[in-house]
Amino acid sequence: MRLPGMEGIPQYGICPFEPLRERLRSCRAAARLPQSARSVIVCLFPYFTHGKGNLSRYAAVPDYHQVAGGLLEQAAAELKQAFPGKQFVAFTDNSPIPEVYAACVAGLGVLGRHGLLITPVFGSYVFIGEIVTDQAFPAEAHPLRECPGCGACERACPTGAAGISGDKGACLSAVTQKKGDLSPAEAQMIRESGCIWGCDLCQEACPLNRDTPQTSLPGFLSDIRKSFNPGDPLEGRAFGWRGRAVIERNARLLKPDMAGKTGKSS
C-alpha cells in the first residue's frame, strides 16, 4: 500500500501500535502521541556520503532535524487531507517511539549488536522518523531478526559500548558531546579516532555496510561539510544545538595535520 504524501521519503513501513504499548507504559513523553493511536509509519532517511573528514557522517550532511523533519511534516499534512478527522503526528529524533524496535517490527531491517538498525539497502546509515496516527493501516507481521553477530562492531569500538552487553552511554559519540573537561582517556580516544563529533567506527567495521550507496536525498546533498574547523558556522548542522565550546574543544585535541582527515582505520 502506497500512502499519499510519502513521495519524498525513500522507504517506509507500517508498525502496528499495539506491540509498542507495553514499552511506552512508563514513558512520560507518550502523552505527545495521538490518543487511540493505531499505526506508526516508520520512515527511513539514508544519509551516507563517500569520503570522511573529522565529523561523523551523520553530522557532515545538513541537519537531519530540518531535512527529515520537513519531509515528515509535509507527509503528515497530506495524510490529514487524505484521511479527514484522523491525527497524524510527525516525530524526528525526539520521538517517544522506540525507533529501532518499531523499524524492525515494520520489516525495514535487523537489529545490529551495536543497537542500530541495519537495512538491506542503506546499511545502518539511516535516520529514522515516524508518523503516529489513529488511522489503522494494514501491516504485515515481520519476525524480529538480529544481525549475523560477527562481532566486528564490538572489536572496533574503543569504549566497549558496541555489543549486546555494552554500555551505550559510554559510546565515543556521547563522549564527543560531553560538556566541560574530558578525562585524559576520553581525550586520547578522540585523538585516535580523528573524529571530533560522533563516531562511525562500529558502522565502518560492519560487513553489512560495505556496499552502502550514497544518499539520493537532495536535502542531504546540497551542503556537505565533512570537516569542522574552529570558527566555522554552526547553523544548519546537527551539532549546532550543543554550542561552539564543545566541538571546538574537540577540534583542538586533534593534531593540526589530522584536522579534516580520517582517523585510524577500523
* Confidence band, pLDDT 50/70/90 cuts, at residue 165: low
State pTM to two decimals.
Answer: 0.91
Q: Distance between CA atoms of 135 and 72, rounded to whole angstroms?
A: 16
Task: State the amino acid at position 1 in one-letter form.
Answer: M
Mean model confidence pLDDT for the chain: 90
CA diameter of the chain: 59
Reported as a single tens digit per residue, the pLDDT across 61-108 is 999 999 999 999 999 999 999 999 999 999 998 889 999 999 999 999
- Which region, left, alpha or beta, applies to residue 212 given φ > 0 means left and ψ of -120 to 50 means alpha? beta
Would you name the residues annotated as active-site residues?
Answer: 93
- In 3-state terms, what secondary structure has residue 146? strand
Angle at 133 between CA 127 and CA 135, to 5 degrees: 135
Return the pLDDT at 263: 39
Whether the pLDDT of residue 26 is over 90: the answer is no
Return the pLDDT at 164: 63
Reported as a single tens digit per residue, the pLDDT across 194-215 is 999 999 999 999 999 999 999 9
% of the chain at pLDDT higher than 70: 93
The answer to whether 128 and 106 are in contact (CB under 8 A) is no
Q: Distance between CA atoms of 11 and 78, rounded to whole angstroms?
A: 17
* Confidence band, pLDDT 50/70/90 cuts, at residue 260: very low
The answer to whether 45 and 71 are in contact (CB under 8 A) is yes
- Which residue would you say has higher pLDDT here, 258 or 170? 170
Domain ranges of the chain: 11-133, 152-211+225-253
Question: b/e string for 79-102 if b means 16 or more Cβ within 10 A?
Answer: bbeebeeebbbbbbeebbbbbbbb
CA-CA distances (angstroms) from residue 68 to 124, 202, 233?
A: 16, 24, 21
Whether the pLDDT of residue 171 is over 80: the answer is yes
Whether the pLDDT of residue 27 is over 60: the answer is yes
DSSP 132: E
Residues in the chain: 266
- What is the rounded end-to-end Cα distance, in angstroms, of the chain? 41
Cell of 168: 551505550
